[in-house]
Structure 1
Amino acid sequence: MPYKLAALLRSHSSDVRGVAAPTDSLVLSVSRDKTAVSWARPAPTVSFAREAVFEAGAKFVNALAYIPPTPEASKGYVVTGGGDTVINVFDLSSTATEPSYSLIGHGDNVCALNALPSGLIVSGSWDRTAKVWVNFQLAYELKGHEHNVWAVLAVDDETFLTGSADKTIKIWNKHKCIRTVTGHTGVVRGLALIPDIGFASCSNDSEVRVWTTEGDVVYTLSGHTSFVYSLTVLPNGDIASAGEDRTVRVWHDGECVQTIVHPAISVWSVASMPNGDIVSGASDGVVRVFSAAEERWAPADELKEFDETVARQALPSQQVGDVKKSDLPGPEALSIPGKKSGDVKMIRVNDNVEAHQWDSASSSWQKIGDVVDAVGSGRRQVYEGREYDYVFDVDIKDGVPPLKLPFNTSENPYFAAQRFLQANDLPGGYVDQIVQFIQSNTQGVTIGAPDGPSDPFTGGSRYRAGPTSQPTGGASISSGDPFTGGSRYTPSTANVSQPTTQPSPGVHTPTIIPVRTFVSFKQANVPAMRGKIMQFDEGFQHEISTSSLALYPDETTSLDETLTYLTQATQSGVAPEGAPLSDSHLEAVIQILQRWPSSSRFPVIDLARLISGFCPHFYEDPSRATIFFRALLEAADWSHQWETPIPKPRETNVLLTLRSFANMLQESTSPESLDWVAELLEEISKAPYEALNKLHHVTLATLLFNLSCVRLKGAISARTHEWHLKLISLVLKEEKSDGETAYRALVSLGNTLYSIKQQAGSFQLTAAQRSEIKEAVSVTKSRFPEDRIAHVSKDVESLLQ
């Protein structure tokens, strides 16, 4: 009988990174949500129910093991490990919230655990060591791997196996390495004993290998299309494996006999029950039980719903192979059986492409998703010895081999773009196109993406520093190669960029000015922002020298509340109803900005960008607004010496700070509440224009444009007016290469002159100001012979008359 869904166990709020099923009536799971959960059922015909929840760690939890009952613990122990480096041992029969034992000794994330019935525990860590614990005390330290230890296995009280990111498996007798086994070409992620043969291992190289106890390969199981994270041996000797291709695969006599597709990005862990049922933990936070016994299958409607959920998934084309719609067959191709379990066939249904997978157990094709034209998460690559989620080919020009652009979803795309340009000696002005290219071509991985701290080998969460807004009349960026015409700046045909009427002889009537639509920078992946902040915080906590930088409990609480609020805001596009964020939330952000080093501030500044966009009440009060923008200026090191080029961390911080300021000026902003803006503009002017890059320039021009939109609603203070005009003139005179920056500054000037005419008597331009403006417009027209520049310049010149 084929395996079918038997139960769905829902409790976790994030990835389920580890599962165990020591008895037919007990399932254990741990998650990135920091908890361990025990699930129990009183009888085989009764559903599993959550029995207990353990606060298993201060950080994400990603490993567990089980110790059978003892006189002290009538139900046994669950052993957990995670990002806080502590191994916690909980008595399953106790209601105590604190662990019975805490094993301290690892220096980094504990990512692997295994235990024997005797109570011996072996652990693996990112600190490159494994440790053996007897009677909850350290007995042996296993040192020898060159990289993180991802897999551990206790064979008996003196023999242990470890698998590592250095691609090797080591066999240990007590604390001595007696053999190093090589063969895998990727990180070794899981180990399991094979009775009467030896052991099995799985790897990032997509393979499962079976070895003798001496380390000789017996056979290799090939079928997974991406990383294989976990494996287990079933009571009948079959093997089940789970991986990044969102499947659990069942292997019999060296052949894949069933592929169980999950509606998730990753299946992180798999375990087997004594009765042969399979338990899996996936990135969608769900624990699933599958059974080959029909009497334990879920009801028919639940089975149908599960199949439909899988079928509805968006499956990136790179995960199943290249797609050329015109060459694909129609549904009639499904009448031809597959050759083996796991075979994938794509068919064309109208304008859609569907992926179907052959299931040998049921002798049928099962729909596993709709193929989308996006980069998937299932084909990570190695470039110059390191693993990346993506390695793009970027064509510079015809006849020249493409350059390689590596990128991990856990990193800031601006850093990746700058690294690429610097490595290939390319102009820094391309950074915006590269960022847009990265963001446009990595959208597929966001389907069901987990939040939380990122895994350095899997890129479990993505951080984006917020894509550039596309204002009406602004540049248009495609998702094509950033060095081909597909993603060069092209003039928009939007109405604010082109005249609506033909210029008439005599007095010119403005055809573009005024432009009243504000430009904001409010897009963000808040869960990934949260993950990056927590990742930095964990790093600070792990080092004595930086522990004082770590978040305080009240700051963590405030951040959680702030991020929850902003998640709702970014999803709906408006501030949530109910109580807004308070001064204490803003104060927590400011304290972190003041304490954290420059290289770690960017996600917190990006958080401030969203606060600026969705919490306008924070700068309605001039004193509070001043505190806010001064903290941001300090975070961007604005008062420090400006060197060229700006160091990369500071470059990003400056950009996000300017975007925060632009967001402070929006539709709801009242001209009467802008007393603080004069000081802000004066401080901004202290940065040498030539030290800033193209992205900085266009964001500064956007800030000036937004202020000009506010001015259309009413008069501002004389000092703010003076600094506004000074900065607009500065941008127009100094901008030499980017037409978009010049265009936004020109529109800002046009709006400003229009508002002066409309608010007669509020201000009068001095002769010196008129002369300066005319000179700036003349310089801009000569540098940028674009139609949109010419049209706006004509409007500006008419408003000067």
Structure 2
Amino acid sequence: YKGHEDCVRGLAILSEMEFLSCSNDATVRRWQISGECLQVYYGHTNYIYSISVFPQCKDFVTSGEDRSLRIWKQGECAQTIRLPAQSVWCCCVLDNGDIVVGASDGIIRVFTESLERAASGEEIQAFENELSQTSIDPKTGDLGDINVDDLPGREHLKDPGTRDGQTRLIKENGKVEAYQWSVSEGRWIKIGDVVGSSGATQQTSGKVLFEGKEYDYVFTIDVNESGPSYKLPYNITDDPWLTAYNFLQKNDLNPMFLDQVAKFIMDNTKGQTLLSTSTQYSDPFTGAGRYVPGSSSGSSTIPAADPFTGAGRYVPGSASNAVASVAGVDPYTGMGAYQSAAAKVENIYFPKQDAVTFDQANPTQILGKLKELNGSATEEHKLTEDDLIILEKLLSATCNNSTETPTAQQLETLWRAINWPEDIVFPALDILRLSVRHPTVNENFCSEKDQVQFIVLLLKFLNPKGKQANQLLALRALCNCFVTQAGQKLMMEQRGEIMTQAIEMKSGTNKSIHIALATLTLNYAVCLHKVNNIEGKAQCLSVISTVMEVVQDLEAVFRLLVALGTLISDDTSAVQLAKSLGVDSQIKKYASVSEPAKVKECCRFVLNLL
């Protein structure tokens, strides 16, 4: 069984056919007895010593060298319990569901969900007091790189946390204190004082262990406040741009964060120099030279990362690793375009000519989740092993630049999968989202024969009370439909119904959903600019005005600004419509945004038209 990068410390049986392993590489792996690794679980930041499974289910607990006991449910780290000891040597789940742990302080502790068996208030307070007096060494990588001067005070604890186990650091009387959010108690609990946290450099910090390897730095990256934190390991000899790109790829994160992550690395590793960069203007959409409406993507000499899609338009046969050659090119601000205040800034943002798609994916994880959920599906919906192989081939044909054409059998199997119950359908929707970029798949689902069923199915998931994962993937699938003429025709024909349903997604707080909604609006703007449909533009402007009121994520705002600029370009009637909706007063505040610069620049160009 090959997979772990360091010694294996523990095993736990899930069923007659599956088991779990934990390792010094800080990962847990789920295996089939045949030797196939089905899933990798990330969460710990140091050696994992012990693992134990809950009775009658696949949930489990782990403990390790990062002072934590972690509880895993449905494949995710659902809860992190800190202990007042560096090494949590062993953990065991009892038949009643209680968890026993033994740590390096020589004490055995039992954790329970049962109020009847819970410790007294005095004992719980004593545990919290002991925990709060613990000294935390930042060199473990568990808290990321720390700079005391940049930390907020106690007021930072007035706002509630966004997830159980979330950690916040504050500065109190010259000391750094670490607090962890408890969802069950609705409060921040002190988990220790951070020692030696004055902003260590390579010379003073030593090496940091992460996933079984040593690094100069291990940063904690919060991409989304409502989502998990990610660990980013970095050595000072590494290229910050390539490291940022690989980090986003590994964690299946949106490539739009490339600039921010690379900048974060450089800001926190002091003294790193960028590779030489071109002084040409760079397109903020494709990162490939100045934007020229109607120009071919092949004319670019710099195959850089598109901050929308990661790789420009979907082009079968294009090299997947081309982006690695652009270390140093800023795909957001155009690098050379804004090097000096005296340089004349050109409008490289709109009118946008091509649809923006969602191409980022981790096929292995998608298929792993599909197989896992298929195991819990009813007999009516369960896919056979042959069906799973068929979907794997479809994903390969549409994601890996394969020359194979998706078959009717593959499309029929995909259709059955996306008709799964709502609580398990999301990996099938993700396969649809990726597959519909392929001309064969797009034309099949968007053809006159199947188009009504297809749209009805996707709109079913745009239910404000539905699962957010389904809402997000349905919106992304709709965005990706715009890649072919057949898809554009269908989307324009069904525009009224789609936009009416999609705008209901504005009421949530999920930033990824807001970005997808803004992208859908942008893609409609691209089509409407070409056909100059004033009725369609009026609806689209109304959507932009409505969504602008609620979104806070600046990437979503940027895409709405590009959509707005595209709609009103070369159209005085559309300009008047936008003014009548009060859009100009809505967007003025974004003209002074400092980062990312593209928001401010794009906003000013739109205001000039208004």
TM-score normalized with structure 1 length: 0.39
Larger Rg: 1
Q: Higher strand proportion, which one?
A: 1
Q: Higher helix proportion, which one?
A: 2
TM-score normalized with structure 2 length: 0.49
